[in-house]
Amino acid sequence: MHFERLAIEAGGTTFSLAFAERLTVIAGVGRLERDGLITELVSSLGPGRGGVHLELRSDAGNRYAIFRPAGGPHCVVDVDNAEDVTEAFLARDGRINILDRAGLNLPIARRAMRIGAADLTTDSASDDWLIRLAHIDPGRLWDVARKVKDREARLQEAAADAGSTPEDAELCQEIERRHQAFECAQAEHEHVRQITFLVAAGCAMLAVPGLLLVGAFVALPLAIAAAGLGAFSASYWRRLSDARKFEEVALREAGEHSYLTFQINRVNGLLASDHQRKRMIRAADDHRAAAAEWGLLAGDVPIDWAIERRRDIDQAHARLRDAINDHNPMTLTLSAHRVTAAEVGAQLAQRLEQTRTLGAGRESMPTLLDEPFGDLAIPAKAQLLEQLVAASAHQQIILLTEDTHITEWARVEAITGSVGIVEPADARPANSAQPTASGDPSGMAPPLTPRMTSSRKRSRHVAA
């Protein structure tokens, strides 16, 4: 299976993203943007939500378009035959669900299709993680783990009630943070303006009796002070007027063509209910606090990895205590580890092999790489990128990154047609042409820049 195009509608705004047949590099996307895009892509294969449309091609060459209009019936169309084939893709609950045909649900599919740096952990790195967690009291370790998963479930519940996703919670918090900053600036400006206006008015009133009773040498300084403070007050009034536009500018600071901007605008319109917004923010705060507690306790060890290997960790802890006859094994020193490109490449090949036959009838599924190479050295990244190019001959791979080295590599490779690159229009070099991802030799395919329609609807902040 190959993604061809994803289109997301929110109010009067549409975000459209096209994909190369083999390897697509989506560059210049931060963590929030990557989380949002991966969620939309995987969800579009599942039950999906209104306003998200997907065009895809099966391994057999059949092309389908999944239409999910907001407020309207969802359908699947066979593009080549112009035929409605919705019935063939309905799940048991009566909704379109391609994942259901493969025996998958959203959490399982997301975990299988998404590959991050933690998923490419080598055996030796896994051993280090196992040793690290074995040094921690099991009661404390699993108590914190349960807390994190409980907070995560509450966040998912709050998001579902709001018709949103857990990934939107951080965007909601960002909207709230920036709006509060705007309100603080507004209050400060108003306070200074009122003080300067009152002082200026007082100086002006004292200047008249000063002129009559004392003389011009007293009145003149008061008049100058009144005029100066009046001008200063007027300048703050001007600032206050300009500050009213600050929030919208701040929300769009990532760039006009940024998917993050689209996400923020969508969530801002989605969470119109003050109760839903506050509940989602509170759930996100609780989840973040629990995740921070896990980080302090276990470092960078992924919690899902730890839970899956709980028995091994507990056994290692027991062996450690027996070996040193110590009930406080946290005093031991951990060994250092260095990951090589060969080790990561082996793990990457294994994960790619899984998604190559993940779909129904061993259909391939697109592999979504979420900043997979982390802090590896540049030569190691180059070697792994070449491995991806070779693997993409057998399955579609989509790499989401904000790594400038990978972006530069993709720009060069896009010239040869082996790689498609998607990046914000304002991030591309001014003197470079945007390569197409379709591989069309005519060069007439539309540019692969996320497009924001010019009919953007502007509305006040939900908290205003």
Residues 177 and 74 placed together within one structural domain of the fold: no
Contact 168/263 with Cβ under 8 angstroms?
yes
Residues 347 and 464 placed together within one structural domain of the fold: yes
pLDDT band at 347 (very low <50, low <70, confident <90, very high): confident
Domain end position, chosen among 233, 249, 270: 270
For the residues 272-290, what does the mean pLDDT come to? 75
Report the pLDDT value the prediction gives residue 435, as an integer from 0 to 100. 41
Q: What is the pLDDT of residues 386-424, one digit of tens each?
A: 999 999 999 999 999 999 999 999 999 998 888 999 887
Q: What is the pLDDT of residues 27-78, one digit of tens each?
A: 988 887 888 889 889 989 988 888 889 999 998 889 999 999 887 889 999 9
The residue written with tokens 């205590």 in the block is: 321
- Tell whether the model's pLDDT for residue 446 goes beyond 50: no
pLDDT band at 128 (very low <50, low <70, confident <90, very high): confident
- Tell whether the model's pLDDT for residue 154 goes beyond 90: no
Residues 22 and 109 placed together within one structural domain of the fold: yes
Report the pLDDT value the prediction gives residue 338, as an integer from 0 to 100. 39
Taking CA atoms, 145 is separated from 32, 133, 182, 321, in Å, by 23, 12, 37, 22
Domain end position, chosen among 223, 253, 270: 270
User: For the domain that residue 15 is a member of, what is the CATH number?
Assistant: 3.40.50
> Residue 249 and residue 236: Cα distance in Å, rounded?
19
pLDDT band at 153 (very low <50, low <70, confident <90, very high): confident
318 assigned to some structural domain: no
234 assigned to some structural domain: yes
140 assigned to some structural domain: no
Q: What is the pLDDT of residues 243-256, one digit of tens each?
A: 556 555 555 554 44
Residues 174 and 89 placed together within one structural domain of the fold: no
Report the pLDDT value the prediction gives residue 66, as an integer from 0 to 100. 93
Report the pLDDT value the prediction gives residue 441, as an integer from 0 to 100. 32
Residues 263 and 355 placed together within one structural domain of the fold: no
pLDDT band at 369 (very low <50, low <70, confident <90, very high): very high
Residues 109 and 6 placed together within one structural domain of the fold: yes
297 assigned to some structural domain: no
- Tell whether the model's pLDDT for residue 131 goes beyond 70: yes
Q: Which has more confidence, 314 or 272? A: 314
- Tell whether the model's pLDDT for residue 270 goes beyond 60: no
Q: What is the DSSP letter of 446?
A: P
370 assigned to some structural domain: yes
Residues 359 and 256 placed together within one structural domain of the fold: no
Residues 105 and 9 placed together within one structural domain of the fold: yes
Domain end position, chosen among 270, 289, 315: 270
440 assigned to some structural domain: yes
DSSP string, 287-307: HHHHHHHHHHHHTT--HHHHH
Q: What is the pLDDT of residues 181-238, one digit of tens each?
A: 666 766 776 676 667 666 666 666 666 666 566 656 556 666 676 666 666 666 666 6
Domain count, the chain: 2
Residues 102 and 22 placed together within one structural domain of the fold: yes
- Tell whether the model's pLDDT for residue 454 goes beyond 60: no
- Tell whether the model's pLDDT for residue 161 goes beyond 80: no
Give burial (CB, 10 Å; 0-12/13-18/19+) of 427: middle
Residues 172 and 229 placed together within one structural domain of the fold: yes
- Tell whether the model's pLDDT for residue 457 goes beyond 80: no
Taking CA atoms, 161 is separated from 50, 100, 156, 399, in Å, by 15, 23, 9, 31
303 assigned to some structural domain: no
Report the pLDDT value the prediction gives residue 261, as an integer from 0 to 100. 59
The whole domain housing 225 covers: 167-270
Residues 118 and 202 placed together within one structural domain of the fold: no
Q: Which has more confidence, 261 or 228? A: 228
> In this structure, which amino acid lies at residue 243?
A
Report the pLDDT value the prediction gives residue 409, as an integer from 0 to 100. 93
53 assigned to some structural domain: yes
Residues 98 and 202 placed together within one structural domain of the fold: no
